[in-house]
Structure 1
Amino acid sequence: MPDFCSRLIEERKRLGLNQAAFGALGGVTKDSQLNYEKGTRRPDSEYLEALAMHDVDVAYVLTGHRMLMAGYVAPPVVRVQKQGLTASRQSSQPLQAEEAERQLDAEPATVMREVTREEAALLDNYNAADEKGRAAARSVLDALAEPKKRANG
């Protein structure tokens, strides 16, 4: 349940709501919301359905996997993990992998970034292509990218 609780808090904060306001979206009191976030009570399906009607990613809260919701564009979030440490930053500008690694004083690490629906579709198409198609896509995107923003140069 701790993962559920932390993801519920994360979604509440993503929407910029306090416990009373977020609980009201789900039709519960601030005390009930507090209990859900502490893990002392489990919400029912009516609460989760009500939250889903207010752009809360209920699938993420339950499973830890984001759903691509209509109208939802997550701000860039980069998490860098190395030896059990995690650095996160959420802002209008994405955190570059190198900058995140410097913040952790870590060697190269895995970087995960939430993506928009359009970015996810591009990634799906890239993954569905053969190696020749992937190479062509990389070449085109590298050529079109502004010089200072290029990932490969």
Structure 2
Amino acid sequence: MNGIGSRIREERERLGLTQRVFGDIGGVEPNAQGKYESGERTPKADYLAAVAARGVDALYVLSGVSTPMAVADLNTDEEVLLGCYRNLPQADQEAVRQLLRSLGGATPRALGGSAAY
């Protein structure tokens, strides 16, 4: 399953919420939440605004493109890690990505969303 429904489910699962709780956040019944996730129905803007206020990446849900994280939002450790990563040769960067996928069971989206993952 591709599209908005699968991305809604992915975001709900990323946040560790049940369909019932997620539906409550979005102001819909659990059956509507299920229909959104299955692709039977498309959510309205007020639903997306409500779930976005609780941490859902609405741009990702709508387009499949993650909202970029502002550099100002990185903590010191993240800045150091990112700087080290960027200084690595391409082959070593791929090795780091593979290691992170192995350790964390990360999805391609969690590691940048590239088709190369």
TM-score normalised by length of structure 2:
0.60
Cα 1:114–1:41 change in 2 (3 A) is same
Letter in 2 for 1:97: Q
* Offset of residue 63 of structure 1: 0.6
**Mapped partners of 2:46, 2:100: distance in 1:** 42
Which of the two has greater helix per residue?
A: 2
Cα 1:98–1:15 change in 2 (3 A) is closer
The answer for the alignment partner of 2:32 in structure 1 is 32
Higher Rg of the two aligned structures? 1
* Offset of residue 12 of structure 1: 0.3
* Offset of residue 4 of structure 1: 1.2
The answer for the alignment partner of 2:68 in structure 1 is 68
* Offset of residue 99 of structure 1: 8.7
Q: Cα deviations across residues 16-70 of structure 1 (Å, max 9, x unaligned)?
A: 0010001111111111100101111111111011111111001001111111357
The answer for the alignment partner of 2:6 in structure 1 is 6
Q: Does 1:52 align with 2:52?
A: yes
Cα 1:69–1:21 change in 2 (3 A) is farther
The answer for the alignment partner of 2:21 in structure 1 is 21
* Offset of residue 6 of structure 1: 1.0
Cα 1:67–1:99 change in 2 (3 A) is closer
In structure 1, the residue corresponding to 2:42 is in which secondary structure?
A: coil
**Mapped partners of 2:69, 2:25: distance in 1:** 18
Structure with larger RCO (C-alpha < 8 A, sep 6+): 2
Specify every segment of 5 or more residues in structure 2 that has no aligned partner in the other structure, as ranges.
75-95, 103-109
**Mapped partners of 2:51, 2:25: distance in 1:** 6
Contact 2:3 2:39 survives alignment (8 Å): no
Which of the two has greater strand per residue?
A: 1
Q: Which among 105, 110, 113 is matched to residue 111 of structure 2? A: 113
* RMSD value, Cα: 3.3
